[in-house]
Amino acid sequence: MDNSGIYVGLDIGTTSIKVIVAEYVKGQMNVIGVGREPSDGVNRGVIVDIDKASIAIKRAVESAERKANIQIHDVVAGIPANLLRIEPVRGMIAISDSSREIGNQDVVEVSNAASVHNLPPEQEVVDVLPDEFIVDGFDGIKDPRGMVGVRLEMNGGLITGPKTIIHNLKSAIRQAGLGLVDVVVSPLALGRTILNDGEQDFGTITLDLGAGQSTAAVIHDHHLKYTFVEQEGGQFVTKDISVVLNTSLDNAEQIKQQYGYAVADQASSDAFPVNVVGQNEPVAVTEKYLSEIIEARMEQILTNIKNN
Ligand SMILES: Nc1ncnc2c1ncn2[C@@H]1O[C@H](COP(=O)(O)OP(=O)(O)OP(=O)(O)O)[C@@H](O)[C@H]1O
Ligand SMILES: [Mg+2]
């Protein structure tokens, strides 16, 4: 199968929207442009205002278009792990003509058969991830295409998610004037990108520390086995700083990035000026004090993830 061409990935985050444009040639993905713009209409990773989100998506896509010097029509979007469910499924189809080789269509059909499931009305299928195929009882087959047989089975994982979240994602992308060619589960895409083959095989936990949420995902045997979303992230660290130091959110964000450490022991006792609400003169705050505020929230987030 020839997959060459341009691929555009879209990641809609709570604080920023990222777009990556890549060209796939001769088996290699080359990034040719990226765009990143502030997000809008997104709360804790979920689109809550379709109009605002679509405008923000458009801005990020336009920025990537300028960098890559191409026109973007279609995107592959990441879907956050919020409320996604993964459950094992099994599908089976009969191949009517046993002399014919199993092809793409049969794989699609067996995967559809596996996803026919008693779903609650508010859930819908996001993806079916095959673990193995079984042709006439021979199991452990990764790709059955080109084989012959009378019975094709598939074992895999069914990923389902709340209809509302998926609907809002699709609507915002459509309203931004884009076509949605595929939806991928974000932690799975992340795992495939940052983990090497051994790490994906042996078993690894990835952590995506976002702004509005922090996601842990267990990847084992090259499959996404489990995800846990802690509904807190960097935005909460910024809010804590703003409340404790009595400074604006913008200031808090800036000093967090410039002077903050996640581990207070690493911070120095050097002081920096902070503009405090209701005072004319800036107040001196040490890096250590700032980092203690950050550490408290980070410890809470990471402990919660660990306990789950
Ligand atoms: N240098 C830095 N030091 C500390 N925090 C940072 C730094 N750079 C970014 N952040 C924080 O990371 C968060 C943004 O991360 P990211 O872009 O992954 O989130 P997002 O995708 O918009 O949100 P989410 O995935 O939760 O929907 C913000 O809270 C920001 O303050
Ligand atoms: Mg994110």
Find out whether the beta carbon of 242 lies less than 6 Å from any atom of ligand 1: no
Residue nearest to atom 30 of ligand 1 (CA): 234
Find out whether the beta carbon of 235 lies less than 6 Å from any atom of ligand 1: yes
Fold of 5-81+164-204: Nucleotidyltransferase; domain 5 (3.30.420)
Residue nearest to atom 18 of ligand 1 (CA): 210
Find out whether the beta carbon of 14 lies less than 6 Å from any atom of ligand 1: yes
Percent of the chain's residues with pLDDT above 90: 79
66: exposed, middle or buried (Cβ count in 10 Å: 0-12, 13-18, 19+): exposed
Q: Which amino acid is present at 294?
A: I
Tokens encoding 161: 């998610």
Cα(59)–Cα(57) distance, rounded to whole angstroms?
A: 5
Cα(42)–Cα(55) distance, rounded to whole angstroms?
A: 12
Find out whether the beta carbon of 297 lies less than 6 Å from any atom of ligand 1: no
60 alpha carbon – ligand 2 mean position (Å): 14
127 alpha carbon – ligand 2 mean position (Å): 20
Q: Which amino acid is present at 222?
A: H
The pLDDT, as a whole number, for residue 225 is 86
Residue nearest to atom 5 of ligand 1 (CA): 257
169-185: pLDDT as tens digits: 999 999 999 999 989 99
Q: Where in the chain is the domain with CATH 3.30.420.40?
A: 5-81+164-204, 234-307
1: pLDDT strictly greater than 60: no
Cα(23)–Cα(146) distance, rounded to whole angstroms?
A: 29
In which band, very low, low, confident or very high, does the pLDDT at 81 lie, cut at 50, 70 and 90?
confident
Ligand nearest to the CA of 240: 1
Q: Where in the chain is the domain with CATH 3.30.1490.110?
A: 85-162
Contact 299, 291 (CB under 8 A): no
CA 64 distance to own-chain centroid: 19
Find out whether the beta carbon of 256 lies less than 6 Å from any atom of ligand 1: yes
- Sign, CA torsion 103/133/7/50: positive
Pick the CATH number of 85-162 from 3.40.50.150, 1.10.3720.10, 3.30.1490.110, 3.30.300.30: 3.30.1490.110
240-247 contacts at long range (C-beta below 8 A, 24 or more positions apart): 240/293, 240/294, 240/296, 240/297, 241/290, 241/293, 241/294, 244/293, 245/274, 245/276, 245/283, 245/285, 245/290, 245/293, 246/276, 246/277, 246/278, 247/274, 247/275, 247/276, 247/277
Measuring CA to CA, how many Å separate 194 from each of 12, 62, 94, 208?
A: 19, 26, 38, 11
Which atom of ligand 1 is the closest one to the Cα of 213?
Answer: 26
- Enter the CATH code of domain 234-307: 3.30.420.40
78 alpha carbon – ligand 2 mean position (Å): 9
103-127: pLDDT as tens digits: 999 999 999 999 887 788 899 998 8
The pLDDT, as a whole number, for residue 97 is 85
Among 54, 65, 80, 61, which residue's Cα sits nearest to residue 18? Answer: 61
248 alpha carbon – ligand 1 mean position (Å): 18
Q: Which residues of 22-60 are buried (b: 16+ CB within 10 A; e: fewer)?
A: bbeeeeeeeeebbbbbebbbbebbbbeebeebbbbbbbb
Q: Lowest-confidence range among 1-10, 134-143, 158-167, 248-257?
A: 1-10
- Name the DSSP class of 281: S
